[in-house]
Structure 1
Amino acid sequence: MSSNQTSIPTLPQDQGSLRAIKDCAAGSVGGILQVLVGQPFDTVKVKLQTAVPVSLPGSPAPSGSPLLLAFRGVSQDGWTAFYRGTSTPLVGVGMCVSIQFLVLESMKRRLAQRNQAQGSVSTDLSGGQLFLAGATAGLANSVVSGPVEHIRTRLQIQSNENRIYQGPWDAIQKIYKRNGLPGLYKAQGVTALREFQGYGIYFAAYESLVQRECARSGRVREDLGTLEVCAYGAAAGYAMWISMYPIDLVKSRMQTDGWTAKDRQFTSAIDCTRQIWAQSGFRGFWKGLTPCLLRAAPANAVTFLGFEWAMRQLN
């Protein structure tokens, strides 16, 4: 096998279907590991993103860094609070990552076949083609990730004393009963933009690193070691989050905003962006970045490690 899976030739229909099943299964392994490792960091990140500074006359400001205060706020409800809302992403993110890798691998094969039809002797894809494959995977993923992220975010900002939803299913029922399907897909436009940008960079970074190393060392993809896969996954995670973090922050603010004109803070994503800039300037779009970057390395390392390991077992 070549240094990149894009060298896979046109497959008969039955083999193509089997390939899709393998891509989905391997993606699920990566997605489940991503949630188990990354959820505590994500909970703190959302707490920081959605926190609105409140200054009351005569009230002393809480002492400590915002990160430490957010950590304390979550930990007051016990260690399980770091995994609040986990059942939704455990199923949903597993499905999302399955979709991501299914579409990614399909796009890589199609683009490689097109390159070969045009006379290319290389099996590697260009950076632009890898971005296109990843961005397409992100858009496909957004159909599932939109409501999954919304429910998870709503549950993450709750405290034990101020609980509106008793769990993921209760949240889904209550939101759907009051606002219908559009309620579950709140801020979907921003989510789709985030997925397109973020996963385009994400997969382009990872696949480019894999292609370069295989070309340099003369090895095939399956020969890459655990540390190499983890390092490339971590680097891809950093590239993704740094490129899309401001969009993610706007998404979190929009998804946790009120439902009616009376209690709604933002009228649109553009209005949300303007208000963040007016209140906090450039720095306002990077609130919660520290726990996000702390999460990026281990969560994305195990995502690709799980995917690559599962593919080797299934092939």
Structure 2
Amino acid sequence: MADSVDSSLSRKLKDTTAGFVGGAVQVLIGQPFDLVKVRLQTGQFRTPIEAFRKTLAAEGPLAFYKGTASPLIGVGVCVSVQFYAFHDARRFFLSRTNRDSLSLPQFYLAGAVAGVANSPIAGPVEQLRILLQTQRYDAKLYDGPTDAIRKIYSAQGLPGIFRGQTVTLLREAQAYGLWFLTFEYLMQSIQNLRGVKRHDIPAWQVAGCGALAGEVLWLGSYPLDVIKSKVQSDGFGKDAVYKGAIDAARKTFNTAGLSGFWKGLIPTLLRATPCSAGTFMSVELTMRLLG
């Protein structure tokens, strides 16, 4: 129990550092998949193959890493905040029980806390990434994340930077509640079945738990992500198509039905497997290395 509720500064720094490493790995693995997903969600292409083929033909292979600079730092910070907040919430729950581990609802709540804590960073970072990913090479509005921030802030102020923040918060809470719950449940199941300690679970099994957690994350939160992408890729002012998240959801349903909320799911799930596996494996191995 003493190790489970270690609240020292060094422990928190290790949680944060491991999360940053995991976030950087996540971006480098997942950025090409993410670009395809966003372009499908926002209606630029009909299928993942069409999105891949036409993007490659028109913009070249480096197009799949458009907008990587801001998420490489931003997602690293996001994931470090997620893991810090998750472990802090876990320690909070453990300090108020006589258990050695959280219950499943507590794991979900701790993950949701991580998502909420992360949402003020994730909202602006994801909007910048989406705006850069969805602009076409022949109709370029922004020269990069710095230029995008300057132009958005100049025209719209802080509300423009934090556009879509409510739906982002809801997406983050649900997604990361499910993500951490699934991963911790699977890791505990391996420990119980094999009678081993957590640090003895081999890296490939950690990666497998992370891969499955990534699938559950998106299956449980994807409609919210579609709405968020529509709001954050929308025009500003007179060019806006949607009045907000509720209007985006209503118009999506009216034009595409329920299937409209699942557009781009396949490349997202394909991306989630290696990204989530890489994130959890790199976080777990970094934490073992740091002690």
Q: TM-score, with normalisation over the residues of structure 1?
A: 0.89
Pair 1:72-2:38 in alignment = no
**Residue number among 103, 127, 146 corresponding to 2:85 in the alignment:** 103
Q: Which residue of structure 1 lines up, in the alignment, with residue 9 of structure 2? A: 17
Q: For 1:83, give the aligned amino acid.
A: Y
Is the contact made by 1:135 and 1:195 (CA closer than 8 Å) also made in structure 2?
yes
Q: Superposed, which structure 2 residues align to 1:134-153 within 5 Å?
A: 134-153=111-130
Distance 1:123 1:211 in 2: 12
Q: Which residue of structure 1 lines up, in the alignment, with residue 198 of structure 2? A: 221
Deviations 1:93-116 (A, max 9, x none): 000000000011111112112112
Q: Which runs of 5+ in 1 are unaligned?
A: 54-64, 117-121
Distance 2:74 2:247 in 1: 29
Pair 1:287-2:263 in alignment = yes
Secondary structure of the corresponding residue to residue 124 of structure 1: coil
Distance 1:30 1:10 in 2: 22
Deviations 1:259-287 (A, max 9, x none): 11x32111121111111111111111111
Q: Superposed, which structure 2 residues align to 1:196-275 within 5 Å?
A: 196-260=173-237, 262-275=238-251
Distance 2:6 2:198 in 1: 19
Distance 1:27 1:35 in 2: 12
Secondary structure of the corresponding residue to residue 63 of structure 2: helix
C-alpha deviation, 1:72, in angstroms = 2.0
Is the contact made by 1:34 and 1:300 (CA closer than 8 Å) also made in structure 2?
yes
Q: TM-score, with normalisation over the residues of structure 2?
A: 0.97
Is the contact made by 1:30 and 1:304 (CA closer than 8 Å) also made in structure 2?
yes
Which entry has the higher C-alpha Rg, 1 or 2?
A: 1
Distance 1:159 1:267 in 2: 24
Relative distance call for 1:283 and 1:108 in structure 2 (3 A) is same
Pair 1:30-2:27 in alignment = no
Distance 2:286 2:269 in 1: 26
Task: Number of aligned residue pairs: give it.
Answer: 290
Q: Which residue of structure 1 lines up, in the alignment, with residue 154 of structure 2? A: 177
Secondary structure of the corresponding residue to residue 156 of structure 2: helix
C-alpha deviation, 1:200, in angstroms = 0.4
Secondary structure of the corresponding residue to residue 59 of structure 2: coil
Distance 1:70 1:258 in 2: 21
Q: Which residue of structure 2 lines up, in the alignment, with residue 56 of structure 1? A: none
C-alpha deviation, 1:174, in angstroms = 0.9
Q: Which residue of structure 1 lines up, in the alignment, with residue 31 of structure 2? A: 39
C-alpha deviation, 1:10, in angstroms = 4.9
Choose between structure 1 and 2: higher helix proportion: 2
Superposition RMSD in Å: 1.4
**Residue number among 62, 65, 70 corresponding to 1:88 in the alignment:** 70
What is the percentage of aligned positions where both structures have the same residue? 46
Secondary structure of the corresponding residue to residue 115 of structure 1: coil
Is the contact made by 2:203 and 2:285 (CA closer than 8 Å) also made in structure 1?
no
Deviations 1:188-235 (A, max 9, x none): 000000001100001000011111211222211111111111110000
Deviations 1:25-74 (A, max 9, x none): 00011000000000000000000000168xxxxxxxxxxx6222111232
Is the contact made by 2:111 and 2:178 (CA closer than 8 Å) also made in structure 1?
yes
Q: Which runs of 5+ in 2 are unaligned?
A: none
Distance 1:255 1:9 in 2: 39
Of 90-99 and 267-276, deviating more is 267-276
